[in-house]
Each structure stands twice: as structure tokens, then as C-alpha cells.
Amino acid sequence: MLQFVVRRLLLAIPTMVAASVLVFLMLHLVPGDPAIIFFGDQPVTPERLELVRRQMGLHRPLVVQYVDFVRGIPRGDLGRSIHNRTPVLEELRLRVGSSAALALAAFVVAVGLGLSLGLISALWRGKWADAGAMLIALGGVSMPIFWLASMLIFVFSLKLGWFPATGFGGWDRLVLPAVALGFISSATLARLVRSSVLEVLLQPFVTTARSKGLREAIVIRRHVLKNAFIAVITVMGLQFGTLLSGAVITETVFARPGVGKLLVDAISNKDFPVVQGAVLFIALVYIIINLLVDLSYAYLDPRIRFE
Amino acid sequence: MDRMRRREFLKRAGIGVGALAASQALPRVFLPGAYAQATGTLTYGMAGGFDTLDVTATTFTRVGRIALHIIDPLVWSTGSGQYSPGLATSWTVSPDATVYTFKMRDDVKFHDGTPLTAEAVKVTFDRIVDPATRAQTAFSFIGPYDRSEVVDKYTVRVRFKSPNASFLNGASSPYLGIISPTAVQKYGQDFGRVVFVGTGPFMLQSYRTDAEVRLIRNPNYTWGAPSFNHQGRAYLQSIVYRIVPEESTRLATLETGETLFIEDVPVTDYQRLKSSRDKVLLEIRQAGSGWSLMMNQGRAPTDDLAVRRAVMHAIDKEGLVRTVWNSVYKAACSPLTPNMLGFDATTCTKVPYNPDQARRLLDEAGWRVGPDGIRVKGSERLRLEFYLQTTPQKNIEMASFIQANAKQVGIDVNLNVIARAGYLDAVRQGRHNFQFWWDTGTDPGQMLRILFHSRNAGGGTNRNNYRNPEMDRLIEQIDATADPTRRKEIIARAQQKAIDDAVMVYLADPPSLYAHDRSVSGVWVDWGGNYPYFFNTRVQR
């Protein structure tokens, strides 16, 4: 087990290198000079433009720029933003807390709602409960998050005054963004839970369990859910990564700082060090989540062993 | 037994969590005003983030809005071309506008305790031109700066390499606000990122990137500018600038009381707020250059004067402001907004909307209507490339309106809506025929230089790529003329010339729209509409 974890963590290194190289190359292939973006619509002489380009270190060969970036990583130095010269690590540190709080809260909503809807719909297949649960899930899949977020603000903040419309810090400021983000993610999960549970329900071992005279609740909990969860938990893990790094619209509507927004802004400014740092962080999050997901398989299915 | 206990535990836990949630939520249900502000704190809903709080280095007007409370300018601008004392009690300008001498107040201290002297002015201005600072807005405001000389402890002389009649305008902007030389030296690269020290009525308390800036009252402030009739400390205890980028959310925060003041009110909510009983809409005509269309003379077919003139006549500005801007914006006449020094009102009648005239001009220039209604000349089709950014959405609406207008006279306009990086690349390289422009500023010389001076062509801000020695001369004369009457005449001539040469199409002049709760009073906004200032502001409970 320990060996498995160590091996997986070591394998993470080439994955992260590959991710950062890819992002680095793609950023340089896309048109747009960071120095020109820096000046935007401000008047600037060609000499001054060149000076800033040099200050940003863009005159150096690409390989040198990349190697410099990689060299700093062991020291915890991800470089400085070429736009505002803030250390990248600090840029990330300032936003990770807010993003993580939102991702966790949204994850709780997504999992709670997704599992409940999926189970209800699978166990009462073909009944009105199934139709109702899947209708809600369909709503979640097809509803633009921008609209849902605005509606939540309108109803719960503007009309009822229950929650503040924006900001961070304090659980009350987390409720609306977490519900918006979580509801959208729960839809996929609900549909997946439904199909997985239905598939397991048809397996011979479920029939065996029932024929042994076990109560239906135990059959569902011990035999059906545990087996159905193998597929579900993989998606749940990936969804957590997306909630942490891809909540740009939710962050914008509810005025919360976040890693997703940082990355999008950095890409549009072609702020290479920030993009690289953020991508590295996100890659690390996904690697850890995948590792946890893999480890959870052994718990859910004792036949799986990490050799 | 085990099962029973677990169930009981879950039941109790459920009751506990429910009770906790209810205890937290109930006050919100019964006291919807619970999120309103404590007296003395003004919470401001800001439309976006920014690069740095260092007002010397920033490129964001928003930073100027915050920084104006932390610094004090040398002079205050009280109207177009009118100035009153700030940190400087008096000043003299040499006849050729190359030397300015400021006499400073002797009773001012920075937030870190450093006394304000002439040396601080020199350090601030030298830092603006230091390439390591990478100053942008401040760099253009300081113009052809040469050096500052400390004449005595409270007198500073600022010298320019060439005449700079607009320097007082620059000195009245927050970007040239005087900063603490001690703090600059102590914090180096961290100045503006974690600390920012000036002499203003408020001090920086905390800054959380992309989230909020908190200012608290400077308890020692006794040097309020005479024009504010208020010599003591500010009335507010604190100001909190919260970044709320989404406009409908920003408006919602004003309605719920989470903010008491917001900027960039959407035009769609203009009427509602104007007739609101508990909110106040502030509408100030913006100074600078309104929304306009740059036409690239470095690329066919907008290198053809007839095509540019035809475009000027083909666009229905009144229809555009009505359709896109709900008539909150006004149809523009000239490269300068009507409140700018030297604005020439005769420009409003010079190029009327007249599609027939546009067609005539194109016919005369040999552009014949082709089989699909689009004009051709030889093998060349009258197709114009319009580059614009993905935001704001209103840009796309304006562009579509212009596209429809152009089609009516046989011009095919192709919209290229692309992200900022690609857009800047295209327009700096001159791959466009059309691009939008909009700028705020209170100095007409600076505005005209940005738009029309040949030194800004070929990749700079003059993306008309208009090169005309006579226009260059006029702009330089504006900068060298300190006499306001003479200056006005030259500014008017430059506007006339820009219209005669069909350089740009002037579309819509915007107002600056702010809104605040009725409990807020005493808000001052500069005449250019850019900087709401809360030194005299109070919040009634």
C-alpha cells in the first residue's frame, strides 16, 4: 500500500512536468505579446515597449525561460507575475482558501443532492419519484450557472434577505455560491448514480442477498451501493477538481476571489509565470484526488489490492 | 443495539445542525437589514480588480479612485482649466510652460510620520520616470519631465524638456499624488502591493487581492484642501472598496445594503434608479473622448478619403445611442467631449447622418454597387475588417449597428470579435480597418495627442495611422500655450481638421453613472466624472 502511494507520487512528477511544458508551449504559440497587453491602450514608444519586454524576461530563449521557472520550484519559488510582479505563490495562496471553501461546500451540496436524487430515481424506477428526480437532474444539466446564480441572488438575497449576495468569509456568504455550483454538478452525479445502481441491482449477487432473506435496506447499503460507487467515486473526484479550479463564473457572479479566475485573467494577460504556477497547482490537485480515488477503491471492493 | 444507537445519534445530530442553521438564519429572516452598514463606514461596490495599489505604477482608473483618498494631489482641478491649492499652496508657471515652481504646505505628515517636504515631490516624480517602476498612466500625465529641483525645504521646481501647458492637469490627478519617500525606500517592490503610504485623509488598512481594500480615517489629518471647506479629519470612520465585477450583482448589493455606493451603473437600470425613492443616481458627463470609431489609413480601403467620409455620413449616431445606450449616452460630435476645454460646438452640425450623401461620395470615388449590393472598384470589394474585444457586450451591439448602417450604403463590414491578446496584436499591427476607442481624461492636448499625433501612429495609440504635419504642429502648440483663450482657439482648429480629414467617427458621449443609498451624503465627484471623493461624506444611520 505504502509502496503504491510512493510510486504514484513519484509518477506525479513527470505528469506535472508534461503539463507545465504543454501549457508553456501553448501560451507561446497563441498570438499576443505580453508587453503589448501590459500597455494595452496606453501610449508607449517602441523603446519603452522593448524595455518592458526585457524586464519581463521575454527576450531570453524559451528554453532558458522554462528552465529558470523549473529551477525555482524546489525552493518554492514559482516566479513573479510579469504584470504586477507579485510572487506567484502568494497570488495562489491568497485565493486557494476561498476556492477550497467554495469547492468543499459545493461538493457537499453536489454529493448530497446527486446521491439522493440518483438513489431515489433508481430505487423507484419508472415511478413518479424517478421522473421527478430526473427532471430536477435535467434542470441542473441544462441550466446555465450564470442564470441560476443570478436567480439565487434575486430570491434569497434581494427579495427574502436571508443571505448576503456576495463576498467571502462566514458560512452565510458561502451558501448561495455553494448551492449554485453544487446543484449544477449534482445533476451529472445523479444520472450516473441512477445508471450504476440500476446496473448493480440486476447482478446475481443482489438476487442471492435477497434470497438469503436480508432486509432490502441492508441489500442496498452493503451490496448495491458499495459496488455502484466504484464508478461514481471516480467522477466525484474529478468533479471536486473542477469545482476547485473551474468555478470562474460562480466566482465572478458572487464576487469571490478564486484560483479559476486568477488563471483566466492570467491567460488573457499572457502572464506566463502565473499561468504556469496555477496549472501546476491544479495538476497537483488532480493527481492527489486521483490517488485518493484509487485508494478508496480498495475500501469499496476488497478484491482490489495495491500490489 | 448498535444500529439503534447510530440512528439515535444521527437524529440528535440532525436536530443540532438544524437548530444551529436556524439560529444563524432567523436573524436574516426577521431582520433583513442586518447586513446594512454601521454608521461611519462606506462600502463601495467596485466594478473590477486591478494590478497594484501603487498609483504611480498602475494603469487602472479604479486605483486612482481609491488612491485619491490615501494621497493628496499637489493641486485640485475645480473645473476645466481651473485649479485650486492642494498640497501646494501656490505655484508659478514660466511663460514657455517648461518650468513650474510649487510652494508646499509646511504642516503635512505622511501616514508613516515622515514630514512632507519638497524632497518628497522630487522622489515621487523621479520614481514615475524611473524605468524600473514601469509607470503607465502617471508616465503619460507627467509628460516631457526633465527633473525636479529642491529650491528650499518647502519649494520645488519641476522642469520639462519641452513645453507642458497641461502639467497642472496632471498634477491634479491622483496618479501624480505625493507618496512617502521613506516608505518607498523601505518597502521597495512591496510598495503598492502590501503597503501604500501618502498624506491623504484615509490610510490603507488592508488589501485583499481581487476582493477588497479597506481604508481607515487618518486621525491626524488637518490639511484638507480649502476648496472642500473642511479642515479636520474625514467624517467617515472607514471606506471598504469591495470588488463586485458582475453588474447585476453589484446593483443587488446596493439594494440589499451590502454596499452603499456603486460605480458603473448599467444603463438598463438608469430610469429605475433615477426614480427610486431610497437610492440616488449620480450622473456626471464624462470628460475625455467618447466612444468613437478609428479608421485605419494604413490599410485599404480606409486609406481612401471618400470611403472614410462616406462612413461618417452613413452612421446614424442618434439611432445608435437610442438603440444601444437607451439615450443615456448622447450622440458625439468631436474627438473631445462637450465639457472639455476648447470643445467646438460647430462640429455637431458638420457631418449629418445622410446615407444618400454617403452613396454619392462612394459613387464619385468609383465604388460601384455590385450584384450582391456590396460596392466594388475594379477587382476590389468594399469590405472593412472591424476588430473588437469580446467585452463589454455593448461594443458588440454598437458594432452590429454600424455593420447594418454600412451595409445600407454598400459597405461590407466584417466583425472580428476576439480576446484581448489577439485584438491588441491585430490593431497594433494595423490589420484592422475599424476599431473602437474610448478614453477619459481632462486635458484636451493629451487626448488629441493620443488620437492624432503621428508619433503615436504605427503601432501606438493613433490606430488611425493618421500622419499629418499640420495636425502634429497644432497639438504641439496646444501643449506649449499656457494662455487659455489662445489654447481654446488651437484646440478648436485641431477638432475641425480631424473632421475635415475624416480621421474618426465620433459616436456616443457617455456619462459616469454612480448610485448610492439615500443615507449617504456629501459625495464629491470631479468634473471629469472619474473620481468620487468621500472626504466630506457622511452616512446617516
pLDDT tens-place string over residues B402-419: 999 999 999 999 999 998
HSE of B539, CA atoms in CB hemisphere, 13 A: 21
CB interface of A with B, residues 213-252, below 8 Å: 252
Q: Which cell goes with B147?
A: 527633473
**Do residue A172 and residue B28 have CB atoms under 8 angstroms apart?**
yes
Using CB atoms, pick whichever of A84, A150, A162 lies closest to residue B25.
A162
- How close A259 comes to chain B (CA, Å)? 11
Strands of the B375-377 sheet, one edge to the other = B368-369, B375-377, B380-381
pLDDT of residue A167: 73
User: Which amino acid, one-letter code, is at B22?
Assistant: A
Sign of the CA dihedral running A12, A13, A17, A18: negative
Chain B residues in contact with A44 (beta carbon < 8 A): 460
Residue B145's pLDDT band, with cuts at 50, 70 and 90, is: very high
pLDDT of residue B116: 96
Nearest C-alpha neighbor of B179 from the set B106, B87, B242: B87
By the CB < 8 Å criterion, does A255 face chain B?
yes
Chain A residues in contact with B44 (beta carbon < 8 A): none
How does pLDDT run across B320-352, given as a tens digit for each residue? 999 999 999 999 999 999 999 999 999 999 999
Using CB atoms, pick whichever of A55, A252, A265 lies closest to residue B246.
A252
pTM of the predicted protein model: 0.86
Tell whether the model's pLDDT for residue B19 goes beyond 80.
Answer: no
pLDDT of residue A165: 85
**Do residue A255 and residue B243 have CB atoms under 8 angstroms apart?**
yes
Coil vs helix vs strand at A306: coil
Residue B388's pLDDT band, with cuts at 50, 70 and 90, is: very high
Nearest C-alpha neighbor of B295 from the set B506, B507, B504: B504
Q: ipTM value, please give it.
A: 0.83
Chain A residues in contact with B136 (beta carbon < 8 A): 39, 42
Tell whether the model's pLDDT for residue B188 goes beyond 90.
Answer: no
Cα separation, B496 vs B487, in Å, equals 14
Cα separation, A35 vs A271, in Å, equals 10
Chain A residues in contact with B456 (beta carbon < 8 A): 43
By the CB < 8 Å criterion, does A164 face chain B?
yes
- Give the distance between the most distant pair of CA atoms in chain A: 85
Cα separation, B240 vs B58, in Å, equals 20
| Helix (H) / strand (E) containing A7 | helix A2-29
Cα separation, B511 vs B326, in Å, equals 12
Contact A242, A56 (CB under 8 A): no
How does pLDDT run across B355-384, given as a tens digit for each residue? 999 999 999 999 999 999 999 998 899 999
How does pLDDT run across B310-320, given as a tens digit for each residue? 999 999 999 99
Tell me the residue ranges of DSSP E strands in B441-540. Answer: 504-509, 511-517, 520-521, 524-525, 532-533, 538-539
Residue ranges in A30-164 assigned as alpha helix (H)? 34-39, 46-55, 62-72, 88-123, 128-142, 145-152
- How close B289 comes to chain A (CA, Å)? 13
Contact B533, B77 (CB under 8 A): no
Task: Tell me the pLDDT of chain B averaged across its residues.
Answer: 89
> Bridge-partner residues for B240, per DSSP?
B43, B214
Tell whether the model's pLDDT for residue B8 goes beyond 80.
Answer: no
The percent helix, strand, coil of chain A (3-state, each to 5) is: 80, 0, 20
Nearest C-alpha neighbor of B215 from the set B204, B223, B207, B224: B204
Contact A43, B450 (CB under 8 A): yes
**How would you write the pLDDT of chain A (307 residues) with one tens digit per residue?**
777 778 878 888 888 888 888 888 887 887 778 888 888 888 788 888 888 888 888 888 888 888 888 888 888 888 888 888 888 998 898 888 889 999 999 999 999 999 899 989 988 888 888 889 889 888 888 888 889 999 999 999 888 888 888 877 778 888 999 999 999 888 888 989 999 988 888 889 888 988 988 888 888 888 888 888 887 888 888 888 888 877 888 888 888 888 988 988 888 888 888 988 888 888 888 888 888 888 887 777 777 766 5
Q: Which residue of B has its CA nearest to A157?
A: B256
By the CB < 8 Å criterion, does A53 face chain B?
no
pLDDT of residue B235: 93
Chain B residues in contact with A158 (beta carbon < 8 A): 252, 255-256
Cα separation, B522 vs B231, in Å, equals 15
Other beta carbons within 10 angstroms of residue B230's beta carbon come to: 16
- How close A286 comes to chain B (CA, Å)? 25
Share of chain B above pLDDT 90, in %: 74
pLDDT of residue B43: 95
Spell out the domains of chain B, with CATH numbers in brackets.
49-242 (3.40.190.10), 289-509 (3.10.105.10)
> Bridge-partner residues for A80, per DSSP?
A87
- How close A167 comes to chain B (CA, Å)? 8
